[in-house]
A and B are shown apart, each in its own frame.
Chain A
Amino acid sequence: MAPATAEPKTEPIATRQAYGDALVALGEAHEEVVALDADLAVSTQSMKFGKAFPDRFFNVGAAEANMMSISCGLAATGKVPYASTFAIFASSRSYDQVRLGIAHNELKVRIGASHGGVSLGEDGASHQMIEDIALMRAMPKMQVIVPADYNQAYTATHESFEREGPIYMRFGRPSTPIVYDEIAETLGDGVDVLRQGKDISIFACGHMVWRALDAAQKLEREDGIEAEVVNVAIIKPLASKAVLESLAKTGVAVTAEEHRVTGGLGDAIRQVAAEQHPVPVFALGMGDEFGVSGTAEACMEHFGLTSTGIIDLVREAMVKKPLVQHPPIRGSSLD
């Protein structure tokens, strides 16, 4: 694989910026890479590719279904399409086109879904996608990646060219603090222990990862709780072994995601725990509710998607943590 040669970022920056930057690098390295957008190319950052490679960039206008089916045709004819739009249009609006044309055919199409979650902000519920991870996890053959910061988003996008099969990548709108010092060549199994701890596991993805690290620091300082922070960037297929190792160590977990607790990261972790190492798993995320208008930060706070929200749930979890630990069950059918 061509190494990711970009300079790692150190200051807060949006993950969607990394998507656009890595896309240009991929376009330079591989002639078969093409990009599509549906009239949001400046927002998703695919316009960077469009300016660099106008012949290989297709802005289909406000027609997301058409974009996904066109991507199918391009991939069936040897191209590697990166189709970009807001997460809401990339998942729910064009679900059937992604499902039949891309996932069912196991085609090498990469969906760059920007503006995921409530941190899209002011546009409100109509644009805040909070169930895309659930939708895409449920879709057969679809892989789901949610990077935590710019540097990891660059790795995810850059490496996606080498991976087989369809991939859904979720990026965010607002600037978000840097978690990874380097731009790695690979996501590996997509489950990284960012901070070791013995008392409780915090599994987080996307914009909740830096908040989980912040929460862990405060928990150690204020409560003496040693929380293990695990970034789950590849939610499907989930590296269950890495999840189990943390669960076996701590015996209780909190999950944190900018998404409905139904079908998202929380459910993915609970699935592994329930089958192979049944310990309590408490999920922080959106309940049975839609988003609202506000600034990105105000929206996150409104729904408790903050380090304080994580801290509160960890304290509750520690009270309910079982006193006796059992070893994990091996030889299960989960991947």
Chain B
Amino acid sequence: MSHLKPVPDPKPAPASDQQPSIEELERYATVLRMHCVSMLAVAKSGHLDSSLSAADIVTALYFRVLRHDPRNPNWPERDRFVLSKGHAAPIQYAALAEHGYFPVEDLQGLRSIGSHLQGHPDMNRTPGIEVSTGSLGQGLSMSVGICLALRLDGLSDTVQTFAVLSDGDCQEGETWEAAMSAAHYEIPNITAIVDYNHLQTDGTTEEVMDTGDVRAKFEAFGWDSVEIDGHDMSAVVEALERSRTLGRPSAIVCQTKKGRGVSFMEGRFGFHGKPPSPEQAEQAMEELEATKRAQDEALGKR
């Protein structure tokens, strides 16, 4: 899987007049998806479909919305990104690598001995990871803690904390403890993004444990809460940018499809935690390359 091409000219912390367009973001999302397929094919382990469903959300954040500085990962005024659904680590690793937090070649070490890229995000090993996650339900609470510390440091108005949750996260009780506390503490700078892909390890969420109307649940907990198409890049960007202007806890429930971008995985049960076979990886990569060629053409970048 060495046929991946690096993204030309990634733009960390873009100034407002240089922001990538929606079309450019869609192309970045395709490149991050290709990284995920390649990483998982080499690692022969991991959660590909869960990474692909979050690709557009993560791209919108890292390539446009987040204020961050890859040369200074500990910049105190950076926005915080917490991947509560830590099993989607590959998509975050791809975004971090493309921004130069670490070399793109490191991605090929995913889940192997000696690599800093653990199966789930590890703050003490990988630059750009704020807190270690992977045990579902904890990320939103950790984000509340980050926001309380930011408030004590006088940074509530400038720094936003974005937590990406899965539907599994919403089955964990702790997520709702966190939701209650964010409203109670009137945290103005927290955004919860739910990657609601409706598929979990043992079946659909509707079969296993119906998470129901997650948007209404957050609203009932006192959050501003909207529901959007999580693969509509302009809707994702708009909702994320709106959330940081609200001054109150904000939930964005993103209706997504697991395995998005790869036809034979998209919305299909049975791929959670299963790496692609060499043939599946080949086919996935061909499809994504075709998507990227079309996006390149549309952008006049051939």
Interface residues, chain A, with chain B CB atoms under 8 Å away: 34, 55-56, 58, 60-61, 63, 65-66, 68-79, 81, 96-97, 100-101, 104-106
Stretch at the interface among B37-45, B176-184, B247-255, B279-287: B176-184
A sample of 9 cross-chain residue pairs with beta-carbon separation below 8 angstroms, ordered by A number, consists of A34-B152, A60-B177, A61-B181, A65-B138, A66-B141, A70-B178, A70-B181, A72-B131, A76-B145
Q: Is the Cβ of B145 less than 8 Å from the Cβ of A72?
A: yes
Q: Is the Cβ of A70 less than 8 Å from the Cβ of B123?
A: no
The one of B137, B149, B181 in contact with A60, judged by C-beta atoms closer than 8 angstroms, is: B181
Interface residues, chain B, with chain A CB atoms under 8 Å away: 122-124, 130-135, 137-138, 141-150, 152-153, 173-174, 177-178, 180-181, 184-185
Indicate the member of B142, B153, B177 with the most A CB atoms within 10 Å.
B142
The one of B133, B149, B178 in contact with A77, judged by C-beta atoms closer than 8 angstroms, is: B149
- A34 / chain B contacts, CB cutoff of 8 Å: 148-149, 152
A100 with B180: in contact, given A58-B148, A73-B142 (CB under 8 Å)? no
Q: Is the Cβ of B132 less than 8 Å from the Cβ of A69?
A: no
Q: Is the Cβ of A74 less than 8 Å from the Cβ of B138?
A: no
- B123 / chain A contacts, CB cutoff of 8 Å: 76, 105
The one of A81, A96, A104 in contact with B132, judged by C-beta atoms closer than 8 angstroms, is: A104
The one of B130, B152, B178, B184 in contact with A69, judged by C-beta atoms closer than 8 angstroms, is: B178
- B174 / chain A contacts, CB cutoff of 8 Å: 63, 65-66, 69, 97
> Could you tell me the dominant secondary structure of chain A's interface residues?
helix
The distance from the CB of B28 to the nearest CB of chain A, in whole angstroms, is 27
The one of A58, A63, A76 in contact with B146, judged by C-beta atoms closer than 8 angstroms, is: A76
Considering the chains assembled together, what is the distance between the CA atoms of A58 and B184 in angstroms? 11
**Smallest CB-CB A-B distances: 3 pairs:** A73-B145, A69-B141, A77-B149
Considering the chains assembled together, what is the distance between the CA atoms of A158 and B267 in angstroms? 55
- A70 / chain B contacts, CB cutoff of 8 Å: 141-142, 144-145, 148, 178, 181
Considering the chains assembled together, what is the distance between the CA atoms of A184 and B143 in angstroms? 38
A-B pairs with beta carbons under 8 A, tally = 103
Q: Is the Cβ of A69 less than 8 Å from the Cβ of B124?
A: no
The distance from the CB of A278 to the nearest CB of chain B, in whole angstroms, is 36
The distance from the CB of A4 to the nearest CB of chain B, in whole angstroms, is 25
A73 with B132: in contact, given A34-B152, A66-B181, A100-B138 (CB under 8 Å)? no
Considering the chains assembled together, what is the distance between the CA atoms of A73 and B145 in angstroms? 4
Considering the chains assembled together, what is the distance between the CA atoms of A101 and B84 in angstroms? 12
Considering the chains assembled together, what is the distance between the CA atoms of A74 and B180 in angstroms? 18
Q: Is the Cβ of A100 less than 8 Å from the Cβ of B134?
A: yes
Q: Is the Cβ of A101 less than 8 Å from the Cβ of B132?
A: yes
- B152 / chain A contacts, CB cutoff of 8 Å: 34, 55-56, 79
Considering the chains assembled together, what is the distance between the CA atoms of A282 and B174 in angstroms? 42
Q: Is the Cβ of B142 less than 8 Å from the Cβ of A69?
A: yes
The distance from the CB of B82 to the nearest CB of chain A, in whole angstroms, is 8
Considering the chains assembled together, what is the distance between the CA atoms of A104 and B149 in angstroms? 20
Q: Is the Cβ of B146 less than 8 Å from the Cβ of A96?
A: no
- B184 / chain A contacts, CB cutoff of 8 Å: 61
List 9 extra interface pairs beyond A63-B181, A101-B131, A101-B138, CB under 8 A.
A66-B141, A66-B144, A69-B138, A69-B178, A75-B145, A76-B149, A78-B153, A100-B132, A104-B132
